[in-house]
Amino acid sequence: MATIYEVAKMAGVSPATVSRVFNGIGVSEAKTQAVRDAARQLRFSPNRTARSLRRQESEVIALVIPDIENPYFTELARGVEDVAQKAGYSVVLCNSDAQVEKEARYLQIAIAEHMAGVILAAAADHTNLDDILATGRPVVAVDRGTGYDIDGVVMANRSAGRAATENLVDAGYRRIAFIAGPELIETAQERAQGWRAVMASRVPDAPVDELLRYSSFQVDGGRGAMEELLALAEPPDAVVAGNNLIGVGAIQVLTEHGLTPPRLGVAVIGSLPFTTLSPSAVTIVRLPARHMGVTAATLLLERIGGDGQPSRTVVLRNEVQPATAVRSA
């Protein structure tokens, strides 16, 4: 690749002028044109590595998520990428696989590569951000908090849990189970709290402890928990899935048992983008994942731009899409 020096020589200017042209700093019309022409001829494109070294900052942001195969997070990634790309930033997608160690490694890389900032959906509740924060690089938390005083974008989880449950109660279900994600993940807890609150007020005699299951935020987690619930002496007549993949797993098991919704009521927190089920059979509490990504990226870019105001947390409201099919039982 051509360097700034070759362009300078060809255009009859100094390297600094070439740099200025490419950074939008005042240069006379004539020289600007000469530089652009030379650059085009030499197919010059600035060496970002050199620029990053000099500036101590690269035009790359890291997006660290716990599960790249979960459509919720890829939708989030889309939102982040769209915004970043428009601002001239690339996104490094890092899959922490819900492991704190993998996550820590990516955070180290973000430091070593002088990345401009990080958007993080934390793998667990004890992620250590001391190092990255010490570098002054901005970090924005998404989906889950981090315990640090940084910007964040989260879903209205309690409210989502409430909405899903209320919907089921309104439809006439009573023994409503809840399959939560991992016990130590904040979002799982909050959604379960929403469910618990509605149960306490609307179905006070329901055995909530028996009806609450913790699992993983994976299809298999949903499957396992659903099997357990069905094996109960008195199985539930409805279930709230704590996230999209749990919903898929639970519905799979129900289908296998001949209990397709709405025979057994199902509400899912999160979208089922690739479901082949009739959408009217299941209540969906849509979580605006893409919007979360857009918001997080916007906040991050503001911080990268030097915004120093106190940290903000944006809570995104969700949208309920009720099941319209009625129980045939």
For the beta carbon of residue 329, count every other beta carbon within 10 angstroms. 8
Q: How far is the CB of 108 from DNA (least distance, A)?
A: 13
The residue (of 73 and 178) whose beta carbon lies closer to its own copies is 73
Interaction between residue 90 and DNA (CB under 7 A): no
The number of angstroms, rounded, from the C-alpha of 300 to the middle of its chain's C-alpha atoms is 14
324 is a site residue for its own copies (CB under 8 A): no
Of residues 24, 56, 231, 308, which one binds DNA by CB under 7 A? 56
What are the structure tokens assigned to 183, written together?
A: 């016990």
Neighbours of 318 (CB within 10 A): 19
Question: Which residue of 39, 94, 139, 287 would you call a contact of its own copies, by CB under 8 A?
Answer: 94
Instruction: Report the nearest approach of DNA to the CB of residue 127 (Å).
Output: 25
Q: Provide the CA 49 distance to its chain's centre, in angstroms.
A: 29
From the CB of 304, what's the least distance to DNA, in Å?
14
Answer for which of 108, 201, 313, 324 binds its own copies (CB under 8 A) is: 108
Instruction: Kindly give, in sequence order, each residue whose CB lies less than 8 Å from that of residue 189, ignoring residues fewer than 6 positions away.
Output: 180, 183
Q: How far is the CB of 215 from DNA (least distance, A)?
A: 43
For its own copies, the binding residues in 223-282 under the rule CB under 8 A are 244-245, 248, 251-252, 255-256, 272-278
Residue 33 interacts with which of its own copies, DNA, none, CB < 5 to 8 Å by class: none
Q: Which is nearer to DNA, 30 or 329 (CB)?
A: 30
Nearest CB to DNA, comparing residues 26 and 308: 26
Q: Is 5 in the site for DNA (CB under 7 A)?
A: yes
Alpha-carbon span 195 to 75, nearest angstrom: 25
**Residue 81 binds which of DNA, its own copies, none (CB < 5-8 A, kind-dependent):** its own copies
Number of CB atoms found within 10 A of residue 176's CB: 27
Does 55 help bind DNA (rule: CB under 7 A)? yes
Q: Does 98 help bind its own copies (rule: CB under 8 A)?
A: no
23 versus 324: smaller Cβ distance to DNA: 23
Cα 166–168–169 angle (5° rounding)? 65
Which token pair is 1? 């690749």
**Binding segment toward its own copies, per CB under 8 A, in 9-17, 49-57, 116-124, 320-328:** 49-57
**Closest C-alpha among 122, 247, 100, 130 to residue 185:** 122
Q: Which is nearer to its own copies, 90 or 321 (CB)?
A: 90
Chain residues binding DNA by CB under 7 A are 1, 3-5, 12-20, 22-23, 26-28, 30-31, 44, 46-47, 50-51, 53-56
Chain residues binding its own copies by CB under 8 A are 1, 43, 45-50, 52-53, 58, 60, 68-69, 71, 74-75, 77-78, 81, 85, 90-95, 102, 106, 108-109, 111-114, 131, 135, 219, 244-245, 248, 251-252, 255-256, 272-278
